[in-house]
């Protein structure tokens, strides 16, 4: 999803789509029937605590790092996260086509040299024990990121504090995300840093090369030590699982459980288009910004997948409800009473993903749902899903999670 690379701050308000009556359509079912067990008298099972955690949740927009504390067993640690610039040490590189002439080393010759200037900067990550003794202190300079992110963006960026993602005690690792952006713009890249408890860099990898095409995903450290970068799954000591596919764009990659993830794609590729007029932007230069061309051969191919941490596909189906302006978003809601994720496609209806049964995906089209009429029934729970153009309230019968009523809400412009 490409857009002009000029300063743009978008606030998305949400409004409506057509409503009709639905049809429950199992996209997939995994209901094993044991005739012996069915005939036997049911055995009372111990009650489990409600599963209230929405592990799929992602956060849009800028997030900065901050100092924090955490414990491993009885041992408490404190992380100090810093970012510094040094205006006495200029850095000059050739623009790769993204940074514009506002950052020119010499504006009079920029059209020929494409040289842009920034200043040295660094991130400092310090780990202290409970008594304030230093466990390690890791310094990362801009040059450390040249082989990972775009050199021109790194050079002109203002250093940001890394954001702590978590730790994994068995492998003695700490994970961080770091935003690298062109100042005064909405153009950014993100990298993931993995350090050992000795302060050594275990991994330094890209999360996304453009926030404009960033998937609905947040880098995170999964419970088994696997790092989700938003391009790959990096298991500790194992073989990486690459989430990107040829001639497609990843639009979502988020966990459903500790061991399963939802991924979605759109099929096609970017193709250059001829630029018209002045192709030099002051802040960011989108030279010959390409346009997206969908692949008609894959119009009916599955583009949404439930996978495990090893990349094995557990289920696949078609989903076209994603949206985005700066980055993609899958409109959804987790309802803990039914331990189900409800993914909205405002043209079709809802897709139900059972957290306790990853292979069970059910489509409930709008044609199947009843329009909502007051009052709300005692057995119903209500939730709202919004998109850029629509807002819906859904009413679920908790005893029959595929039985829904819905209404379109008025959204202020």
Closest CA to 348 of 304, 382, 318, 383: 318
The answer to whether 188 and 11 are in contact (CB under 8 A) is no
Count of C-beta atoms within a 10 Å radius of residue 143: 13
Count of C-beta atoms within a 10 Å radius of residue 225: 21
The answer to whether 299 and 306 are in contact (CB under 8 A) is no
Q: Is 91 within the bounds of a domain?
A: yes
Label residue 146 by pLDDT band (50, 70, 90).
very high
- pLDDT per position as a tens digit, 8-64: 333 333 333 333 444 445 554 333 333 333 334 444 445 668 889 999 999 876 788
Look at 22-26, 201-205, 352-356, 372-376 and tell me which has the smallest mean pLDDT: 22-26
Q: Is 214 within the bounds of a domain?
A: yes
The dihedral over CA atoms of 58, 348, 378, 56, expressed in degrees to the nearest 10, equals -20
- pLDDT per position as a tens digit, 230-242: 999 999 988 999 9
Q: Residues 159-172: what's their mean pLDDT?
A: 96
- Count CA atoms within 13 Å of residue 371 on its CB side: 6
Look at 115-119, 166-170, 398-402 and tell me which has the smallest mean pLDDT: 398-402
Q: Is 16 within the bounds of a domain?
A: no
Q: Residues 185-192: what's their mean pLDDT?
A: 94
The alpha helices in 8-150, defined as continuous H runs, are: 35-39, 110-113
Measured CA to CA in angstroms, residue 362 lies from 18, 31, 173, 316 at distances of 20, 13, 38, 11
Classify residue 197 as exposed, middle or buried by CB count within 10 Å of its CB (0-12, 13-18, 19+): middle
Q: Is 47 within the bounds of a domain?
A: no
pLDDT computed for residue 119 by the predictor: 97
Percent of the chain with pLDDT over 70: 84
Run of H or E including 391? strand 391-397
DSSP-assigned states of every residue in 228-254: E-SSEEE-TTS--EE---TTEEEEEEE
Closest CA to 172 of 206, 136, 140: 136
Measured CA to CA in angstroms, residue 308 lies from 235, 254, 311, 358 at distances of 12, 11, 5, 9
The answer to whether 216 and 144 are in contact (CB under 8 A) is no
Label residue 325 by pLDDT band (50, 70, 90).
confident
Q: Identify the domain containing residue 170 by its residue range.
A: 24-29+54-408
DSSP-assigned states of every residue in 183-199: TTSS-EEEEEEEEETTS
- pLDDT per position as a tens digit, 240-268: 999 999 999 999 999 999 999 999 999 99
> What CATH number is associated with residue 337?
2.40.128.510
The answer to whether 139 and 123 are in contact (CB under 8 A) is yes
pLDDT computed for residue 378 by the predictor: 93
Q: Residues 279-296: what's their mean pLDDT?
A: 66
Closest CA to 22 of 318, 295, 372: 372
Closest CA to 164 of 85, 63, 287: 63
Give the pair of three-digit tokens for residue 326.
């700066």
Label residue 370 by pLDDT band (50, 70, 90).
very high
Q: Is 413 within the bounds of a domain?
A: no
The answer to whether 362 and 350 are in contact (CB under 8 A) is no
Structural domains in the chain (count) = 1
Measured CA to CA in angstroms, residue 159 lies from 65, 84, 113, 312 at distances of 11, 6, 25, 38
The dihedral over CA atoms of 262, 346, 342, 2, expressed in degrees to the nearest 10, equals 30
Q: Is 295 within the bounds of a domain?
A: yes
Q: Would you call 317 helix, strand, or coil by DSSP?
A: strand
Mean pLDDT across the chain? 87
pLDDT computed for residue 194 by the predictor: 98
Q: Is 45 within the bounds of a domain?
A: no
Label residue 274 by pLDDT band (50, 70, 90).
low
Sheet strands side by side (includes 241-242) = 220-221, 227-228, 232-234, 241-242
Closest CA to 100 of 83, 114, 90: 114
More confident residue, 163 or 281: 163
pLDDT computed for residue 412 by the predictor: 72
| Strand-strand pairing, 260-271 and 291-294 | antiparallel
pLDDT computed for residue 272 by the predictor: 78
Residue 205 to residue 224: CA distance in whole angstroms: 19
Label residue 283 by pLDDT band (50, 70, 90).
low
Q: Is 198 within the bounds of a domain?
A: yes
pLDDT computed for residue 200 by the predictor: 98
pLDDT computed for residue 10 by the predictor: 34
pLDDT computed for residue 296 by the predictor: 92
Q: What is the pTM of this model?
A: 0.85
pLDDT computed for residue 4 by the predictor: 43
């Amino acid at each position: 999803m490409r857009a002009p690379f000029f300063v743009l701050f978008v606030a998305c308000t949400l409004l409506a789509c057509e409503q009709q009556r639905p049809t429950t359509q199992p996209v997939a079912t995994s209901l094993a029937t044991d005739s012996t067990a069915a005939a036997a008298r049911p055995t009372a099972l111990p009650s489990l605590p409600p599963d209230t955690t929405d592990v799929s949740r992602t956060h849009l927009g800028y997030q900065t790092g901050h100092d924090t504390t955490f414990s491993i067993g009885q041992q408490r640690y404190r992380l100090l996260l810093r970012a510094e610039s040094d205006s006495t040490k200029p850095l000059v590189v050739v623009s790769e086509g993204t940074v514009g002439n506002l950052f020119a080393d010499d504006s009079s010759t920029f059209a020929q040299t494409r040289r842009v200037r920034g200043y040295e900067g660094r991130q400092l990550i310090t780990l202290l024990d409970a008594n304030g003794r230093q466990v390690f202190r890791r310094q990362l300079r801009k040059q450390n990121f040249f082989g990972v992110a775009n050199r021109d963006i790194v050079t002109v960026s203002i250093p940001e504090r890394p954001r702590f993602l978590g730790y994994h005690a068995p492998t003695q690792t700490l994970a961080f995300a770091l935003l690298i952006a062109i100042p005064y713009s909405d153009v950014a890249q993100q990298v993931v840093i993995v350090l050992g408890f000795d302060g050594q860099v275990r991994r330094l990898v890209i999360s996304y090369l453009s926030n404009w095409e960033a998937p609905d995903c947040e880098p995170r450290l999964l419970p088994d030590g696997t790092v989700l970068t938003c391009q790959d799954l990096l298991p500790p000591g194992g073989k990486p699982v690459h989430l990107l596919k040829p001639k497609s764009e990843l639009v979502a990659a988020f966990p459903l459980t500790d061991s399963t993830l939802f991924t979605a794609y759109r099929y096609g590729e970017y193709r250059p288009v001829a630029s018209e007029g002045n192709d030099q932007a002051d802040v960011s230069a989108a030279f010959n910004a390409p346009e997206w061309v969908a692949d008609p051969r894959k119009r009916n191919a599955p583009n949404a997948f439930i996978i495990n941490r090893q990349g094995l596909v557990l289920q696949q189906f078609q989903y076209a409800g994603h949206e985005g302006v700066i980055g993609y978003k899958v409109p959804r809601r987790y309802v803990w009473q039914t331990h189900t994720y409800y993914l909205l496609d405002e043209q079709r209806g809802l897709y139900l993903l059972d957290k306790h049964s990853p292979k069970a995906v059910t489509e409930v089209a709008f044609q199947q749902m009843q329009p909502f009429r007051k009052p709300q029934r005692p057995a119903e729970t209500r939730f709202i899903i919004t998109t850029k153009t629509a807002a819906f309230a859904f009413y679920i019968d908790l005893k029959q999670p595929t039985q829904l009523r819905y209404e379109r809400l008025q959204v202020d412009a």
